[in-house]
Structure 1
Amino acid sequence: MVSTFSRRGDLAPEHFVPVAWQPWKLLCYAAMLIFAIAVGSTYSGPLTVLVKVVFVVFGALQFIGIFGLMHESAHGHLARSGRANRLLGEVISVVVGTSYPGYRAAHLTHHSRFRTEADPQEVIFPQRSAPVTMALLTAASVFGAPIFLLVRAPFIALKHNNVVRSVWGPIAAVAFYATLCMVLPSAQSSFLLLTIVAGAVLGSLNDIVYHQGLVADNTLQASTSFDCDAFGQMFLSGANRHAEHHAYPAVPGPRLVKVSKILRDDFLARGVPYERSFTMAFARRFVTNPLFLPVTCKSGPAGAER
């Protein structure tokens, strides 16, 4: 998709340099996750249910943040050393429960074959009947992330790697979480599982508004850019600037805020949809287009200019 509307030379070289502090976010996410489970699982004061829900959501956001670091690693942004970048990605894949080589291959193909039938992360391609597309989009909005990570990515890895390399991440994840559930008291293990489920659902809801409910063609109009940079940097490693990310996938996430300011006027002229927050975008599209079906673009029927 990059060659369609952008060139690396459009931005200064410093925008493409990985940020040295980004790997340390993994320790912060782990510490905050432990804190959320420890407090949320034992709290019994006023407004118990509400407080527990808050800590479940807070813990789920840490999982989403950890996934964001794996996304950065897939693009080679997590460390300046290629070896360190890959090792960090492999470690994170165990926490997330997926195959790192499968995820990386799928996601990079998503960028290079965006909005085509070769895009392994796309729900609306290959084109199917309207009822089937509606069902897939509905399921993807709630469970799309875990299905892709736990099932799709390992199968994609098997096409390019040996069995051990392809599935060791998911197997190690099962062993890791099974061990935790046996070691932790029941209250903590139950809260951990609930937090994982919440992270999977919130991650799916988050992902659906990046591209769905928009035009079906391979243009800037098919990616939403979100202005919630504080949240985006804290939990998404900059992926909230999604149109900019697709235009310049070689730019590390933490640098996308500055890049977005440079590109905004041009992107607005090109029809990039800008939203304030994920919640508002999801609510608006759900009300106007409950099943997040592709919409018609100004130049003709959706998908006509692939």
Structure 2
Amino acid sequence: MSSATVTAPRFGNWPRFLLFPLIAVIGYAGLVWEVEQHSLWIAAGWVAILSYCWFCLAGSFHEAAHGSLFRNHFINEAYGQTVGVLILIPFSTFRATHRMHHAYMNTPKDYELWPYSDPNASLGFRRAFVWLDLFFGVFTAPFIYGRISFTKTARLTPAEKKWIPREYAFTALFWTSVIIAVGLLIHYGYYQPELSHTFLLLPLIISPMINTLRKFTEHVGMESTDPVQGTRTVCGKHWLTTACSYFLFDISVHGPHHRYPKVRGGNLKSKLKEMQQKDPARDIPVFSSYYQALMHTLPLLWTNPAVGTEKWPDKAAPAASSTTGTGVPA
């Protein structure tokens, strides 16, 4: 994907980093303190806050994959590589999978939405995978993005073929070093693990669950393969919806993002308005809040846990309710 952009927002992207890493780092100090004081209810509050902060990391990682997070290419790449190591998804792997997602959205070649994009996956399997994907996203996400590395039909660039193995090797080396370091601290008595310390890991487990819900809300159950009609766009005027979208780099304005993948997140809402003004009769699936989009999605996780079924063989596509959104903001 090209890093070409339209005019950047006046203040750039830096305020969007307030939740991650700024508040995330500060919040961990508060979480550690409360855990050590055994104030578990207060610690639970910190876990909720930090989980959302880590979730917002997905927005910046996604922008970096499009080459639009930072104007400096080296910084953009370094950020993506660093985050990829932390979340067990090498940056080149994510970028290659996401490129296929944009090129073949909601089709069998959309590796990012597997198995929901696979007509050969049974309804029972897709229903079961919804739950696995939701509660164990910390494991399923690296697997889903990693599939492109060993799928014969994947179109990897020479650079990706070169860097993906290296990035996996470095990721394995980094986390092996972390595990060994913690083991040595325990062995020599510098650290004594307690059950309450599992609170420190919870944000890293919960945030992928939130990210899976985001993925479901954007695509699952949408029958179209059109870049706009095959996505749910969230764009409302309520301050909470606006704030949540802002700190996630406006990835929720998803239809326009797929229509204009080169446009920076901060400019997607204006693109949505242009689309609505240019073709007022077009029923773009826009929801005025995340709640509305989620309520539209949840039944389809059972009745139609799939994408792009308008092009599936009749025997493979289960009956589903309408996938056209409501609540288009004025």
**Per the shorter chain, which TM-score range?**
0.7 to 0.9
Write the mapping of 1:154-165 to structure 2, written as runs, cut at 5 A: 154-157=146-149, 160-161=161-162, 164-165=165-166
Write the mapping of 1:120-269 to structure 2, written as runs, cut at 5 A: 120-122=111-113, 123-127=115-119, 128-144=121-137, 146-148=139-141, 150-157=142-149, 160-161=161-162, 164-168=165-169, 170-171=171-172, 174-175=175-176, 178=179, 179=181, 186=193, 190-227=198-235, 228-234=241-247, 236-265=248-277, 269=281
Write the mapping of 1:251-290 to structure 2, written as runs, cut at 5 A: 251-265=263-277, 269-286=281-298, 288-290=299-301
The sequence identity of aligned pairs, in percent, is 19
Aligned-partner SS, 1:153: helix
Q: Does 1:90 align with 2:98?
A: no
Match of 1:99 in 2: 90
Q: Distance in 2 between matches of 1:262 and 1:136?
A: 37
* Compared CA separation, residues 25 and 294, structure 1 to 2 (3 A): closer
Q: Distance in 2 between matches of 1:177 and 1:206?
A: 30
TM-score (normalizing by structure 1): 0.78
Q: Which has the larger radius of gyration?
A: 2
Match of 1:112 in 2: 103
* Alignment RMSD (CA, Å): 3.5
Amino acid aligned to 2:162: N
**Equivalences, count:** 286
Deviation string 1:184-221 (CA, Å, 9 cap, x unpaired) is 77478533311101111111112211001222433522
* Compared CA separation, residues 42 and 279, structure 1 to 2 (3 A): farther
Contact 2:27 2:50 in 1 (8 A): yes
Q: Distance in 2 between matches of 1:126 and 1:157?
A: 18
Q: What runs of 5+ residues in structure 1 fail to find an aligned partner?
A: 1-12
Deviation string 1:251-294 (CA, Å, 9 cap, x unpaired) is 111222333333344577333222233344223432x3342616
Write the mapping of 1:16-55 to structure 2, written as runs, cut at 5 A: 17=8, 21-22=12-13, 25-26=16-17, 29-43=20-34, 50-55=41-46
Contact 1:99 1:168 in 2 (8 A): no
Match of 1:73 in 2: 64
Q: Distance in 2 between matches of 1:121 and 1:296?
A: 11
Q: Distance in 2 between matches of 1:296 and 1:176?
A: 40
Contact 1:140 1:204 in 2 (8 A): yes
Instruction: Please state which structure has a larger fraction of its residues in helix.
Output: 1
* Compared CA separation, residues 76 and 282, structure 1 to 2 (3 A): same
